[in-house]
């Protein structure tokens, strides 16, 4: 039935409905992302995508716009616009690349570092609370391993990577 929310275990791999699995994965991601976006807006005044960028830059100081684009599987133009918003907000800055005068490296400002840390704590709390309602601690590593393997396979094969 269209629009019906379904629940229940998949019976066996041979009976798995691949589109149902796809639908579940996409809806879970959408709901988690929306909840994260809502929480971060209320607590830190940033969006989920801004959090993803400042968190990435916190972990990867000196990254380039292209690095952000590849990691997040988005176009370089979208990544550049996102970085422009971080710079305008005073959370990041572009630093000339000493090895390539045409390029710049990205660094968080002190304000951006503080924001990234506070937002990360909010995000961890939210995700742990939401996923912990359903996932038992003993199954968390198995689920995480499955999604890590799926992601690695897709990334390795260049699937879902924008060309622009």
Q: Where are the domains of the chain?
A: 44-156
- Give the angle 115-116-117 at the CA atoms, nearest 5°: 90
H/E run at residue 102 = strand 100-108
Residue-level pLDDT at 137: 83
In whole angstroms, give the CA distance from residue 51 to residue 124.
Answer: 12
- CA separation for the pair 89, 83 (Å, rounded): 10
Distance, CA of 73 to CA of 157 (rounded, Å): 13
Local structure of 109: helix, strand or coil: coil
Q: Hey, what CATH class is 44-156 in?
A: mainly alpha
| pLDDT for res 71 | 95
Residue 160: phi, psi to the nearest 5?
80, 15
The whole-number pLDDT of residue 111 equals 98
pLDDT at 136: 87
Residue 97, classed as helix, strand or coil, is: strand
Whole-angstrom Cα distance, residue 157 to residue 164? 17
Measured distance CA(123)–CA(133) in Å, rounded: 16
Instruction: Return the structure tokens found at 125.
Output: 């709390």
Which pLDDT score, from 0 to 100, does residue 17 have?
Answer: 81
* No. of helices (H) and no. of strands (E), the chain: 6, 2
Question: DSSP letters of 33-51?
Answer: HHHHHHHHHHHHS--HHHH
Mean pLDDT of successive 10-residue stretches along the chain, which has 164 residues: 52 69 94 97 96 98 95 95 98 93 93 98 96 89 93 93 76
């Amino acid at each position: 039935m269209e629009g019906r929310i379904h629940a229940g275990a998949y019976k066996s791999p041979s009976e798995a409905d691949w589109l149902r699995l796809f639908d579940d994965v996409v809806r879970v991601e959408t709901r988690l992302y929306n909840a994260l976006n809502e929480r971060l807006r209320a607590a830190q005044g940033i969006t989920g995508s801004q959090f993803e960028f400042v968190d990435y830059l916190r972990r990867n100081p000196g990254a380039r716009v292209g690095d952000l684009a590849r990691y997040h599987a988005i176009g370089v133009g979208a990544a550049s616009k996102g970085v422009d918003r971080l710079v305008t907000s005073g959370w990041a800055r572009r630093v000339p690349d000493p090895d390539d005068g045409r390029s710049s490296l990205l660094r968080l400002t002190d304000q951006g570092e503080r924001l990234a840390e506070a937002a990360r704590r909010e995000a961890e709390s939210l995700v742990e609370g939401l996923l912990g309602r359903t996932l038992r601690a003993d199954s968390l590593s198995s689920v995480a391993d499955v999604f890590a393997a799926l992601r690695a396979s897709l990334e390795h094969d260049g699937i879902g990577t924008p060309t622009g």
